[in-house]
Structure 1
Amino acid sequence: MDLRLARIARQVPALLAQEAAYGHAFLFVPVLIGAGAITWFSLPQDPAFWPLLVAFLIFSGVAMVVRHGTGSLRLLPCGLALFVGGMLLADTETRRLDTTILDTPVTTNVTGVVERRESDAQGRWRYIVRLQKTTKPELSRAPQRVSLLARGRHDPAALGDTIAGRVRISPPSGPALPGLNDFAFSSYFDGVGAVGFFYGAPELLPQQADSAQAWDSIESRLFDLRSTIGDRIRATVAGDAGAFAAAIVTDERRAISQETTEALRLAGLAHIIAISGLNMALAAGIFFVGVRTVLSLFPGFAQTYSIKKIAAFGALVMVTAYYMISGFGVSAERAYIMMAVILVAVLFDRQSLSLRNVALSALIIIAISPSEILGPSFQMSFAATAALIAGYEAWQRRRITPEAGPQKTSHRMVTSVSKAGRFVAGIIMTSLIGSVSTAMFSVEHFHRIATYGLAANLAAMPLISFIVMPAGLVAMLFMPFGLDAPFLKLMAMGLEGVIEIARYVAAWGGDVGVGRQHAWFLGLAGLGFVLLTLLRTRLRLIGLPFIAVALFLSWQAGRLSQPDILVSEDGTTVALLGPDGVATNRNRVPGFIYDQWRRALLLGDPVKPDMLPRGAEPTKRDGRFIELTGPEIEAARAGMREAPGNRFLCTSRAWCAARSGKGALIVAVEDGRYAGVACDVADIVIAPRARFDNCRSGALMFNGDILRKTGALEIALNNTADMEAWRIHTAMVGKDRGWNRHRHYNWRGRSFDTILPEPLQQIISDSGG
């Protein structure tokens, strides 16, 4: 064994030299920069900028000095410089955007300019509004932009219009559980600091002078054109098919019904909705082949000029126009850059489909928007593209052998069948490679795998490739002349077929939940995938152990004990996990929260609480709280003590109580007047409207201010009623970044405060307890 290891170690320098000869060292440049950006975004606090800059300059200087040296170690300072450079890019993007996120939900009057708009399947409009002012109350930390849903009937406001109205706005949602997706992160880098809705219809105000920059004006015109095209498509073709067609062309997805969206997701076809690499590649490829075919009909012209380059330039112009009307979405931006790099390579007589071009595209995107590397869209798109190109190159190397001689001529029928067989095999392999290469990201981000995605893609991709995209491309070319309707209807016919396939496959029930993964799962699996994909020699096999360890950690994560209590970040939804299922304090559990809990912890349907009657007495009179009477206090105290095991007993709009298997009493308080009563009898009190932070009885108190700092909670009682043995995992404790700093803001004192009550600090695992 020692001799074998020594022999392998002696071969490593030669294999590294061989990889360098292939030029694969460049492929790891975006990997190292991206790793630096991921590290920066994952830190609990902002690292200091100047030490990073000094380290970058030192490593860069050393790399320049040793660049002509021999040995693999000369690459180390270069790798470190790229890693630190990725951290600096992430720091720069965060400082450049500096989005202000609303600190707490509030009802106020807003006035602002409509920057974007999009309708949904119910005909409601979602506006992205750049705020100009807020009143009643005036916000001390008003966000720059808010996303507002207008549910009242009104004439849609155009882009650039000034609108006003009474709104309810809230900060973007944080993680539903520790370790899950933080929606505030993506909202921060989208520049949106709050989400909410109008009370009634928004009021359209007279046009006001706006200090928008020239680019903002151009962007507004492009969004207006995008909205016009989307409206025209939906007006020409009704229903989900028209909304689907508009989504493929303009990336406006809200108009597709929830049922169809869910069917596409369950069938593994949701990637078609977004303007991604598939859509952009099909559009460019169809245009490129079409122009080249037409020009080849003129032999004199084809012999004089390079029709291949003319077609590539035309395709580049076309995909640029496609990107301009797509709304500048993340997936569209990434697909456009990748396709532009490929087409420019054709113009300069370079190999178009290569891993170098994929690496260059990734490098450009990471340099522009480092935050995108944390998104599933970026990860899945580049993983699928890199895997497909690596697989294609490996297949080409296998086909090109020294013994290969000239192909024998076969009968036309045999040739046709052979081509059809290769086409079907190509679709199968493409779908298989794409599914396998993106599976780890689906498992990490969505906690599920669409097991029948291969079958759905095999059935749907011919419709997309030969009907939907060609018809859509021709429709866009003819739309300025008013001749687009027949082609849009043909496009819709193809999409109706895709929707039927999605519904049929979704009915098979192939959506398999795998639950929340180990913290190291994606990092190890991603490292193994990168080594397998980007390396060409036997060194690529080093990636297999990393993938094996990641799979072991995934298996181990599924065997870990589950928490006993789950608490949403606003404290309004509480779940008690017991042997009989999941009991909740709500008759109607918010789907947005519970769906994430269900996928992460593989939970079943929630058990509704038992309800006690309660009168409809008001809680306030003349703006003041009405104090509880003695009988009301005693009745509540007695009711809480009688809480059943592993099930909530609730009084409507007042309180809910449940007892764990080991006797710990949990009380969730909706009416803040009952918080004191709950403290008297309970072990854990969740009272978002309580006006105090500690229970004199020693019970654990989670009020609204505390929950804002902690985020969602997982409480493990560890099979005991002894509070000192409990452990609490939080989503936010210890984190102080631009996208979650709003949680620490106290609008009364206009200051930031991260301190938690002492009893909580002792048992919150995230704080060292």
Structure 2
Amino acid sequence: MDRLRGLVLMPFAALAGARGYLFVWVPVMMGIGIGVWFGLPQEPGLISYGVAVGLIAVGWGVHRWGPDATQPIVVAMICVISGGIVAGVRAHLVDAPVLGFRYYGAVEGRVVLIDRSQSDHIRLTLDQVVLERTSPRRTPLRARISLHGAQEFLALEPGQTIIATAHLSGPDGPVEPGAFDFRRMAFFDQLGAVGYTRVPVLLLAPPAPGAQWINRVRAQLRTGVERAVLGDPGAFAAALVTGDRAGISRAAQDDLRGANLSHLLAISGLHMALLTGFVFATLRYGLALVPPLALRVSSKKVAAGVALVAGAIYLALSGGNVATERAFVMVAVMLGAVLFDRRALSMRSVALAACVLLTLQPETLMEPGFQMSFAATVALIAGYAAMRDRGTLARGKVPFWLMPLVTVVFTSLLAGLATAPIAAAHFNRVAGYGLVANVLAVPVMGFAVMPAAVLAGVLAPFGLEGPALLVMGKGTAWILAVAQMVAGWDGAVRAVPTPSGVVLPVMVLGALWVVLWRGPARFAGMVPMIVAFGLWGQVTRPPLLISADGALIGLAGPEGRVLSTPKGAGFTARQWLENDGEMGDQEGAAARAGFRGDAKMRQFDFGGWRMVQIKGKAADGLVSEACKSADLVISAVRITDNRPTGCQLFDTSKLRETGTLALWPQPDGSLRVEPTKVQNRLWTRTARAAQFTLTLP
């Protein structure tokens, strides 16, 4: 009996012994609560939140008056519930109108952001949106349009009020069950409509005095840098200063991605750390060279304060996107630790930064940028702490002249190992030579490009920024050359299939246990990591996918997925192939054997079922004929008349209720149908669809 009691009390004793180190688990528990909230099938109501607040009150009472042994578990419960409440509050605060229909007509709005789409078109994000024949109550707060066709009639800049004739619709949901939900991300950005225009954009009014001034300053900085440094190196340099990547060619972005250097393009933790670190080091050692000042002021604290201001200015100039905000919070916490005589680089400071971010923007937990930046930071702190404890990098063990190279290699290796699984899960790509590329490029970024950017900013008011921009341009040209070289090597990029939804959370929690827990029990975290990789290796992709508009069908074949059409629905086709772990294009996938017939009536067999896809204006009249030779008919238009009785039918009205469908054959000859619209949340604004089964007519 005593032995059984000891086993029961062992976890409580272990938690009590680790009480001084448990703060680092607070953001982990909050993240679990946020993740559970995002995974709920239904939007929680007031009663649910009231129960959650009541549980927190009970937990606080147990923590205040209950036994000491239960306090860590109670605090963990409070953190989990608080994470869910924070996510709910944030969602209701940003709730804004979403366009619920397809719109074609005049679109008026003020330009707040100019960037480039995946198809390499200039893209405008507008606020103060006005749509004709649409009431303000139904008009989105923000809309984004891609500019197709000739658009050289207007020099675009932030703050302009423009008008265009555009096609708009609400943001699309996932391209298949369990895939990335762009609609959710757009909801938290208050982006309620996306679309395109094929006619020239016209200027209604120039920027008002003082309106969008920071974005206009960013545009002027970008233009100035690109004039001083030509081509992609100049566009790269401008992106590092302003966060505006519109000028970088698609080929250069593909090279950076293939060499695992695309993180250098996005203003994130690395850039903020390099900039504030350079300012901090320059001021601290500069003040130390002036004895009267060094004896009277704390050079470390002065340098930290100025570096914090420099980081805030960089945050404003870079556009203040989520990645940069996250980086600034982390740097601010670390510099604040210096100001208050605490260790700047510690797990506690990283945990505090994560708590701040998860409280202010809980939706970032679901984004790869948040996951990768914190994974890299935690891995670096833990790795260097382990090396310090073992004396591996102690003075004398590594030659002084070799230390910079060892540090770069070790840093790139740790960050690469920590972020590679997350990047592969989100982007379906593994860069085989990313370590080589980072070793060649990151030192140039740290020792040349970012210091030159700081000097250019200091010297620009005096018109003396030319030499600094020259150095910056040479550095970015080197980075692009490295990216092009490495991306061109055989096997530089390997495709991997998308894992199931449980793989990444299980893997991350196991890795966090290994890194954050203390003592031999930490190695128990290897078990869930191994399980996660095993599940990833056994992932099964849907054998049949039907797009949400019925225009594209993807059938698994011996050579890979076979697509029903070589053109159209390009984004969906590309995502399906990438999620399969393929690197081919839509045209090649459509050339594989699997479909018969012409474009208006595509026939194929699946799981013992005869199926037909019909498209075009005549589809309504073809449905009866198609039903005679098929068990299931998929129509890319709405069937209003002549609905058949001898077969199953999926037309656009049915697919609008379900979203993209994944079909799985069953041993009894039926088909298990998994819809995409499985949530009824604020960002879906539709009733959830349930999984169902089809049987042969």
Same fold (TM over 0.5): yes
Residue by residue, what CA displacement relative to the aligned partner does 1:235-259 show, whole Å, maximum 9, x if unpaired?
Answer: 2222111111111111112321111
How far did residue 333 of structure 1 move? Answer: 0.3
Listed as ranges, the matches of 1:301-320 within 5 Å are 301-320=293-312
Listed as ranges, the matches of 1:8-87 within 5 Å are 12=11, 15-20=14-19, 23-67=20-64, 70-87=67-84
Any gaps of 5 or more consecutive residues in structure 2? none
* Residue of structure 2 in register with 1:579 after alignment: 558
Residue by residue, what CA displacement relative to the aligned partner does 1:62-87 show, whole Å, maximum 9, x if unpaired?
Answer: 33443465553222222222111111
* Residue of structure 2 in register with 1:187 after alignment: 186
How far did residue 668 of structure 1 move? Answer: 3.4
How far did residue 379 of structure 1 move? Answer: 0.6
How far did residue 706 of structure 1 move? Answer: 2.2
The question of 1:295 aligning with 2:276 is answered no
How far did residue 18 of structure 1 move? Answer: 3.5
The question of 1:529 aligning with 2:529 is answered no
The question of 1:684 aligning with 2:632 is answered yes
> Residue 499 of structure 1 is aligned with which of 476, 480, 483?
480
Q: Identity across aligned pairs (percent)? A: 32
> Residue 709 of structure 1 is aligned with which of 653, 657, 663?
657
* Residue of structure 2 in register with 1:592 after alignment: 571
> Residue 602 of structure 2 is aligned with which of 646, 651, 656?
656
Q: Could you say if the C-alpha distance between residues 432 and 219 of structure 1 is closer, same or farther in structure 2, counting changes exceeding 3 Å? A: farther
Q: Which amino acid aligns with 2:95?
A: D
Q: Could you say if the C-alpha distance between residues 680 and 659 of structure 1 is closer, same or farther in structure 2, counting changes exceeding 3 Å? A: same
SS in 2 for 1:275: coil
> Residue 148 of structure 1 is aligned with which of 128, 141, 145?
145
Q: Could you say if the C-alpha distance between residues 539 and 219 of structure 1 is closer, same or farther in structure 2, counting changes exceeding 3 Å? A: farther
Q: Which amino acid aligns with 2:412?
A: S
SS in 2 for 1:286: helix
Q: Which amino acid aligns with 2:512?
A: V
Q: Could you say if the C-alpha distance between residues 700 and 537 of structure 1 is closer, same or farther in structure 2, counting changes exceeding 3 Å? A: same
> Residue 682 of structure 2 is aligned with which of 738, 749, 753?
738
The question of 1:667 aligning with 2:630 is answered no
- Residues 165 and 199 in structure 1, CA contact (< 8 A), matched pair in contact too: no
* Residue of structure 1 in register with 2:500 after alignment: 518
The question of 1:568 aligning with 2:572 is answered no
> Residue 726 of structure 1 is aligned with which of 647, 665, 671?
671
* Aligned equivalents of 1:532, 1:228: Cα separation in 2: 47
The question of 1:283 aligning with 2:275 is answered yes
- Residues 118 and 227 in structure 1, CA contact (< 8 A), matched pair in contact too: no
Q: Could you say if the C-alpha distance between residues 669 and 699 of structure 1 is closer, same or farther in structure 2, counting changes exceeding 3 Å? A: farther
How far did residue 466 of structure 1 move? Answer: 1.1
Q: Which amino acid aligns with 1:573?
A: L
Between stretches 224-233 and 33-42, larger displacement belongs to 224-233
Q: Which amino acid aligns with 1:517?
A: P
Listed as ranges, the matches of 1:595-634 within 5 Å are 595-603=574-582
* Residue of structure 2 in register with 1:445 after alignment: 426
How far did residue 322 of structure 1 move? Answer: 0.3
Residue by residue, what CA displacement relative to the aligned partner does 1:87-136 show, whole Å, maximum 9, x if unpaired?
Answer: 11111111111132222332121222222233679996422112443226
Residue by residue, what CA displacement relative to the aligned partner does 1:347-381 show, whole Å, maximum 9, x if unpaired?
Answer: 11111111111011011111111111110100110
Q: Which amino acid aligns with 1:740?
A: T
- Residues 15 and 72 in structure 2, CA contact (< 8 A), matched pair in contact too: no
Residue by residue, what CA displacement relative to the aligned partner does 1:520-542 show, whole Å, maximum 9, x if unpaired?
Answer: 21121111111112222223222
* Aligned equivalents of 1:710, 1:128: Cα separation in 2: 29
* Residue of structure 1 in register with 2:168 after alignment: 169
The question of 1:487 aligning with 2:431 is answered no
* Aligned equivalents of 2:480, 2:79: Cα separation in 1: 45
Q: Which amino acid aligns with 2:204?
A: L
* Residue of structure 2 in register with 1:639 after alignment: none
* Residue of structure 2 in register with 1:259 after alignment: 251
How far did residue 6 of structure 1 move? Answer: 9.9
Q: Which amino acid aligns with 1:736?
A: N
Q: Could you say if the C-alpha distance between residues 394 and 68 of structure 1 is closer, same or farther in structure 2, counting changes exceeding 3 Å? A: farther
SS in 2 for 1:193: strand
SS in 1 for 2:191: coil
* Aligned equivalents of 2:246, 2:544: Cα separation in 1: 34
* Aligned equivalents of 1:92, 1:170: Cα separation in 2: 27
How far did residue 480 of structure 1 move? Answer: 2.6
Q: Could you say if the C-alpha distance between residues 735 and 251 of structure 1 is closer, same or farther in structure 2, counting changes exceeding 3 Å? A: same
* Aligned equivalents of 1:528, 1:661: Cα separation in 2: 38
Q: Which amino acid aligns with 1:702?
A: F
How far did residue 340 of structure 1 move? Answer: 0.7
Q: Which amino acid aligns with 2:182?
A: F
Residue by residue, what CA displacement relative to the aligned partner does 1:606-625 show, whole Å, maximum 9, x if unpaired?
Answer: 566999xxxxxxxxxxxxxx
Q: Could you say if the C-alpha distance between residues 476 and 304 of structure 1 is closer, same or farther in structure 2, counting changes exceeding 3 Å? A: same
Q: Which amino acid aligns with 1:256?
A: I
Q: Could you say if the C-alpha distance between residues 72 and 218 of structure 1 is closer, same or farther in structure 2, counting changes exceeding 3 Å? A: farther
Between stretches 340-349 and 436-445, larger displacement belongs to 436-445
- Residues 693 and 702 in structure 1, CA contact (< 8 A), matched pair in contact too: no
* Aligned equivalents of 1:475, 1:53: Cα separation in 2: 54
Q: Could you say if the C-alpha distance between residues 568 and 139 of structure 1 is closer, same or farther in structure 2, counting changes exceeding 3 Å? A: farther
Residue by residue, what CA displacement relative to the aligned partner does 1:261-290 show, whole Å, maximum 9, x if unpaired?
Answer: 111111111111111110100001111111
> Residue 105 of structure 1 is aligned with which of 102, 106, 109?
102
The question of 1:543 aligning with 2:525 is answered yes
Q: TM-score, normalised by structure 2?
A: 0.91
Residue by residue, what CA displacement relative to the aligned partner does 1:576-612 show, whole Å, maximum 9, x if unpaired?
Answer: 222354332223354422222122113455566999x
- Residues 573 and 585 in structure 1, CA contact (< 8 A), matched pair in contact too: yes
* Residue of structure 1 in register with 2:226 after alignment: 234
- Residues 581 and 607 in structure 1, CA contact (< 8 A), matched pair in contact too: no
Any gaps of 5 or more consecutive residues in structure 1? 210-216, 612-643, 745-752, 765-769
* Aligned equivalents of 2:249, 2:50: Cα separation in 1: 49
Q: Which amino acid aligns with 1:51?
A: S
* Aligned equivalents of 1:500, 1:232: Cα separation in 2: 23
- Residues 115 and 160 in structure 1, CA contact (< 8 A), matched pair in contact too: yes
How far did residue 154 of structure 1 move? Answer: 2.3
How far did residue 138 of structure 1 move? Answer: 6.8
* Residue of structure 1 in register with 2:261 after alignment: 269
* Aligned equivalents of 1:418, 1:605: Cα separation in 2: 49
How far did residue 655 of structure 1 move? Answer: 3.5
* Residue of structure 2 in register with 1:620 after alignment: none
SS in 2 for 1:389: helix
Q: Could you say if the C-alpha distance between residues 448 and 161 of structure 1 is closer, same or farther in structure 2, counting changes exceeding 3 Å? A: closer
- Greater gyration radius: 1
* Residue of structure 2 in register with 1:349 after alignment: 341
- Residues 680 and 697 in structure 1, CA contact (< 8 A), matched pair in contact too: no
Residue by residue, what CA displacement relative to the aligned partner does 1:448-497 show, whole Å, maximum 9, x if unpaired?
Answer: 32222111111111111111111111112222332223212211111111
How far did residue 447 of structure 1 move? Answer: 2.5
- Residues 471 and 487 in structure 1, CA contact (< 8 A), matched pair in contact too: yes
* Aligned equivalents of 1:457, 1:513: Cα separation in 2: 20
SS in 1 for 2:550: coil
Q: Which amino acid aligns with 1:458?
A: V
Q: TM-score, normalised by structure 1?
A: 0.83
How far did residue 30 of structure 1 move? Answer: 1.2
